[in-house]
Amino acid sequence: MALYLVRHGEYVPERINPSCPLSDRGLVEVARMAAMATRKEIELTKIFHSGKKRALQTAMILKEYLKPLFGLDQTRGLNPNDDIYYIVGLIEQAENIMIVGHLPFLEKLVSYFVTGDEDEPVVQFPTAGIVCLDKDAEGKWEIKWTLMP
């Protein structure tokens, strides 16, 4: 049961565009990372995203490359400062999903799964970064691999 966590690509600041879409650079970096992820032979069931424009755009690009069985779905609980425990429940019920989200949420989620403490830093997510978590033989989450731009 793998879990793929992705930070959205670089975006246009809110002062320039209030909907914060991906920048031109963000579009390119997400497509490049998605292409790299295809070499990992990922078998996704679904990609979840926060609904924010930059996360939706990132998820749509990933969908084109990785072709999740059940497509995309917006879900609550993925915003930058949301409590991670809503998503923990979703993750425990699903297999081979990808979550496209924001900081500090994603870093807290990885920390919680790997150390049991959401405030214990484990990994930093650059824009468009991907972290694959999986359970070891004892059922404990570990970082299996990362792809960073």
User: Is 0.85 surpassed by the pTM of this model?
Assistant: yes
pLDDT score for 30: 98
Rounded to whole angstroms, the Cα distance separating 4 from 41 reads: 13
pLDDT score for 92: 86
Query: So what CATH class is 2-147?
Result: alpha beta
For the chain, what is the largest distance between any 2 Cα atoms, rounded to a whole number of angstroms? 48
pLDDT by position in tens, the chain (length 149):
899 999 999 999 999 999 999 999 999 999 999 999 999 999 999 999 999 999 999 999 999 999 999 999 999 999 999 999 999 988 988 899 999 999 999 999 999 999 999 999 999 999 999 999 999 999 899 999 999 99
